[in-house]
Amino acid sequence: MFKIRAAVVAIAAALAAGSAGATTLRLVCGSSGIDQNSCESAAKAWAQKTGNQVEFVSMPNNSSEALALYEQLLSSGSDKLDVLQIDTVWPGILAGQLVDLKPYLKDRIADYFPSAIANDTVGGKLVAVPWYIDTGMLYYRKDLLEKYHMKVPASWEELTATARKIQDAERAAGDEKMWGYVWQGRAYEGLTCDALEWVSSYNGGSIIDAQGHVTIDNPGAAKALETASKWVGTITPKAVLNYGEEEARGVFQSGDAVFMRNWPYVWSIANKDGSPVKGKIGVAPLPKGGADGQQAAALGGWHLAVSRYSPNPKLAADLVLYLSSAEVEKQRAVDASFNPTIPSLYKDKDVLKANPFMADMLPTFSTAVARPSTVAGTKYNQVSNQFWNAAHDVLSGSAGASAALARLAASLQRLAPNGEWH
């Protein structure tokens, strides 16, 4: 009897000692597609290895809402977040609230895309570690293009005609839910990406150029928005005005759209067992704006950061280092199509087998269109907000493109600190 009691006391003491050393970190995981599962399982592996614990905070899949949540928590100095995922356009906005990760990452800095490291360096501080990179892509239904003997469209004009033809023919054959083209039209950061791609594809620039000139009021940009506004209600459901990435994926993955604009993560989830479009999808660069236009893909991606208010910054940095290791980035690329931020992984045969398109994506990262987040710094979200609202007004028919862009340009000029963005 005594022996059993002694053993129970000894086990209880051992457990207490074990848990006394364990720390719980709070990690924000994304929620689009299978991001959450993949992020949580990687973090659990770290917890297991180090004897610590991780609690998960789920992030809204609308990045504008995620930013609002972070700003609210961080501005109050909350210790409720240790490790955060931040969007590629936020380092300038959140730098003051984040820990410098350079002393932790040390020599590993050289493993990542230099442009991504430059993006995350604010005032000499490395405020985040690049976790995955993405660019806008055109998804299409291979089976439907083959059925109608149509090519992957090279221009928006071709896309409009092909989408219309297949949509009409499929509807006439009884598939009344079929649409030509789905994308992100809600008034949020995702629309900034889509609209910037249209504008840039018609040689209309990138809102504010790197020298700080507000360039958005130009004929190419107006043509781009006019073209997109004509899709709404014809080849695109009107509900697109409230679509984010996941809503567009829902329609395409159910088999109800010929084309979709989205990010690489959709590849993996739309090709999983049980997906109605498994094996029927192709991906291509987004089309050019007319014969004189260019292909343009917005540059996106997410980065891992440590909150300045974390009670355990050293341990939080260790979790960041683990999650952004080549091993975990490879796993996430294979399982969930998240493009690695470590260039050497683009030669990895498992990564390329799971995502044949990734080899072609590598050179596009240097030509992709960056949003004006560096030049706008702390004011980027206001710039983006004004741009997506102007685009949304044109798409919904409440404003004409030229007038909306002239108003936007004047307003962005007023927003510039001391009247200048440079």
Q: Is 136 among the residues that bind ligand GLC (CB under 6 A)?
A: no
Q: In terms of Cα–Cα distance, which of 67, 80, 76, 66 is closest to 24?
A: 80
Q: Which residues pair with 259 in a beta bridge?
A: 140, 181
**Chain mean position to CA 15:** 42
For ligand GLC, the closer CB: 88 or 229: 88
Distance of alpha carbon 323 from alpha carbon 85, whole angstroms? 11
Nearest Cα residue to 336 out of 32, 34, 28, 31? 34
Shortest distance (Å) from residue 23 CB to ligand GLC: 30
Report the alpha-carbon distance of residue 158 to residue 167 in Å, rounded: 14
Number of residue whose CB is nearest ligand GLC: 300
- What distance in Å separates the CA atoms of residue 316 and residue 293, rounded to the nearest whole number? 45
Binding mask 115-134 for ligand GLC (x = CB under 6 A): -------------------x
Q: Which residues within the stretch 233-252 sit at the binding site for ligand GLC (CB under 6 A)?
A: 245
Helix axes 219-231, 156-172, angle to 10 degrees: 10
Stretch near ligand GLC under the rule CB under 6 A, chosen from 101-109, 282-290, 300-308, 346-354: 300-308
- Residue 338 interacting with ligand GLC (CB under 6 A): no
The number of beta carbons lying within 10 Å of the beta carbon of residue 386 is 19
Least distance in angstroms from the C-beta of 99 to ligand GLC? 21
Q: Which of 180, 264, 287, 301 binds ligand GLC (CB under 6 A)?
A: 301
Minimum distance, C-beta of residue 202 to ligand GLC, in the bound complex (Å): 21
Torsion-angle region of residue 77: left (phi > 0), alpha (psi -120 to 50) or beta? Answer: left
Nearer to ligand GLC, 222 or 260 (CB): 260
Smallest gap from Cβ 130 to ligand GLC, in A, equals 11
CA atoms lying within 13 Å on the CB side of residue 27: 32
- 288, 201 contact by CB (below 8 A): yes
Give the number of residues in contact with ligand GLC, rule: CB under 6 A: 13
300 lies in the binding site for ligand GLC (CB under 6 A) = yes
Chain positions 53 to 112 lying near ligand GLC, rule: CB under 6 A, are 63, 87-89
119-to-87, 115, 184, 314, 370 alpha-carbon distances in Å = 11, 6, 25, 23, 10
Q: Could you give the CA distance from residue 129 to residue 388 in angstroms, rounded to a whole number?
A: 27
Pick the closer one to ligand GLC by CB: 63 or 307. Answer: 63
- Binding to ligand GLC by CB under 6 A, coded x per residue (else -) over 185-224, reads ----xx--x-------------------------------
Window contacting ligand GLC (CB under 6 A); options: 98-106, 299-307, 343-351, 356-364: 299-307
Q: What is the dihedral of CA 307, 312, 315, 320, to 10 degrees?
A: -10
Take residue 147 and report the two structure tokens written for it. Answer: 């059925």
Nearest distance from residue 95's CB to ligand GLC, in Å?
Answer: 17
The span from the CA of 330 to the CA of 33, in Å, is 17
- Taking the complex as a whole, how short is the minimal distance between the CB of residue 245 and ligand GLC, in angstroms? 6
Q: Determine phi and psi for 303, rounding to 5 degrees.
A: -135, 150
Number of residues that this document lists for the chain? 422
Among the listed ranges 38-46, 249-257, 282-290, 295-303, the one in contact with ligand GLC (CB under 6 A) is: 295-303
In angstroms, what is the minimal distance from the CB of 29 to ligand GLC? Answer: 13
Residues near ligand GLC (CB under 6 A) are: 63, 87-89, 134, 189-190, 193, 245, 263, 300-302
